[in-house]
């Protein structure tokens, strides 16, 4: 394997507030090439915090340490805020979970997309507008002229998520972090959004970090999967091999899903073992 695009070693995120110390992420390490990496795990396992730390968007109360957090030639840990501003959106983009809260409610969605482009490219309004229009089309929005003028509350969830994607990908970043981009959507829309995402990644050859707690989805969509539990990576395995996962935690998560093809009376509930935290990193 050639030099990975992103290389993370021993990432730790600690929250200190009110004298309480919360270790949200413990010693996470991974490399990312031109691939789609899924991060799964139950709620609170540190998926989002890992993703946000990469963009340096952690809350001010977070304390981030890492041996290495290298993106291309840039040391993300030590980059200045100014440098980060240039990186964000331009080199690394982040798609957030819920379009309802992640779009500015008072700004036309088209303008929000165009703004993202103008932040990184010295272009005029009309140029940015036509770019945004093209981007809307590429996320399969049928009537971009009309949608451009809409406000976030006037678009449906699926459309909103596609707008988010358009907004985040318009600057053609090299790395996309998608934090549960589809969990607010229902199944039919989810498929559409994922295929749009797939298309764009393929076209730009970007890497993708896909955060979700839906193992089925990740297995289907990603190339590789990190399984996280309480801030720790328990397993790092190819998505296709998820069915053969060894770790009891991963198995537990898989079993807890109700399935159409396997009716059962009682769903399995994963058992958790604190000892997993001390096991050597995967």
Q: Which of 31, 35, 63, 115 binds another protein (CB under 8 A)?
A: 115
Q: Which does 6 bind (CB under 5 to 8 A by kind): ligand ATP, another protein, Mg ion, none?
A: none
CB of 170 to ligand ATP, least distance (A): 25
The stretch among 31-39, 130-138, 164-172, 274-282 that binds another protein (CB under 8 A) is: 164-172
87 sits near another protein (criterion: CB under 8 A): yes
The stretch among 42-50, 67-75, 168-176, 229-237 that binds Mg ion (CB under 5 A) is: 42-50
Question: What 3 state SS string does the chain have?
Answer: CCCCCEEEEEEEEEEEECCEEEEEEEEEEEEECCCEEEEEECCCCCHHHHHHHHHCCCCCCEEEECCEEEECCEECCCCCHHHHHHHECCCEEEECCCHHHHCCCCCCHHHHHHHHHHHHCCCCHHHHHHHHHHHHHHCCCCCHHHHHCCCHHHCCHHHHHHHHHHHHHCCCCCEEEEECCCCCCCHHHHHHHHHHHHHHHHHHCCEEEEECCCHHHHHHHCCEEEEEECCEEEEEEEHHHHHHCCCHHHHHHHHCCCCCCCCCCCCCCCCCCHHHHCCCCC
Nearer to Mg ion, 70 or 212 (CB): 212
The stretch among 45-53, 69-77, 141-149, 229-237 that binds Mg ion (CB under 5 A) is: 45-53
232 within 8 A of 249, measured Cβ to Cβ:
no
Site string for another protein, 64-83 (x = CB under 8 A): --------------------
190 sits near another protein (criterion: CB under 8 A): yes
Q: Which does 172 bind (CB under 5 to 8 A by kind): Mg ion, another protein, ligand ATP, none?
A: none
Q: Which does 22 bind (CB under 5 to 8 A by kind): Mg ion, ligand ATP, another protein, none?
A: ligand ATP
Q: Which does 61 bind (CB under 5 to 8 A by kind): another protein, Mg ion, ligand ATP, none?
A: ligand ATP
CB of 275 to Mg ion, least distance (A): 25
Return the structure tokens found at 57: 């968007």
Site string for another protein, 32-71 (x = CB under 8 A): ----------xxx-------x--x-x--------------
Q: Which does 65 bind (CB under 5 to 8 A by kind): Mg ion, ligand ATP, another protein, none?
A: none
CB of 182 to ligand ATP, least distance (A): 13
Q: Which of 135, 139, 171, 201 binds another protein (CB under 8 A)?
A: 171
187 sits near another protein (criterion: CB under 8 A): yes
90 sits near another protein (criterion: CB under 8 A): yes
**How many Å apart are CA 143 and CA 250, to the nearest integer?**
42
CB within 8 Å of 20: residues ≥ 6 apart = none
b/e sequence 136-171, b meaning 16+ C-beta within 10 Å = bebbebeebeebbebebeebebbbbbbbbbbbbbbb
CB of 32 to another protein, least distance (A): 18
Binding positions for Mg ion, rule: CB under 5 A = 48
């Amino acid at each position: 394997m050639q030099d990975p695009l992103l290389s993370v070693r021993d990432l730790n995120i600690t929250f200190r507030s009110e004298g309480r110390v919360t270790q949200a992420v413990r010693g996470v390490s991974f490399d990312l090439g031109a691939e789609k990496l899924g991060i799964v795990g139950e709620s609170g396992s540190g998926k989002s915090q890992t993703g946000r730390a990469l963009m340096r968007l952690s809350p001010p109360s977070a304390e981030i340490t890492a041996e290495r957090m290298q993106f291309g030639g840039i040391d993300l840990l030590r980059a200045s805020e100014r440098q980060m501003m240039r990186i964000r959106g331009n080199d690394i983009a982040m798609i957030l979970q819920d379009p309802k809260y992640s779009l500015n409610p008072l700004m036309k969605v088209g303008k929000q997309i165009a703004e993202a482009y103008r932040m990184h490219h010295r272009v005029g309004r009309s140029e940015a507008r036509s770019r945004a229009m093209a981007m809307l089309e590429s996320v399969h929005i049928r009537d971009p002229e009309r949608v451009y003028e809409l406000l976030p509350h006037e678009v449906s969830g699926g459309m909103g998520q596609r707008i988010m994607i358009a907004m985040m990908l318009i600057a053609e970043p090299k790395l996309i972090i998608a934090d549960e981009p589809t969990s607010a959507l229902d199944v039919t829309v989810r498929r559409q959004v994922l295929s749009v995402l797939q298309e764009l990644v393929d076209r730009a050859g970007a890497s993708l970090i896909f955060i979700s707690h839906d193992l089925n989805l990740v297995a289907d969509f990603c190339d590789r999967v990190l399984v996280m539990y309480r801030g720790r990576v328990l397993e790092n395995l190819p998505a296709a091999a998820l069915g053969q996962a060894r770790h009891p935690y991963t198995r537990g998560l898989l079993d807890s899903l109700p399935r159409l093809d396997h009716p059962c009376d009682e769903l399995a509930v994963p058992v958790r073992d604190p000892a997993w935290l001390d096991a050597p990193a995967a």
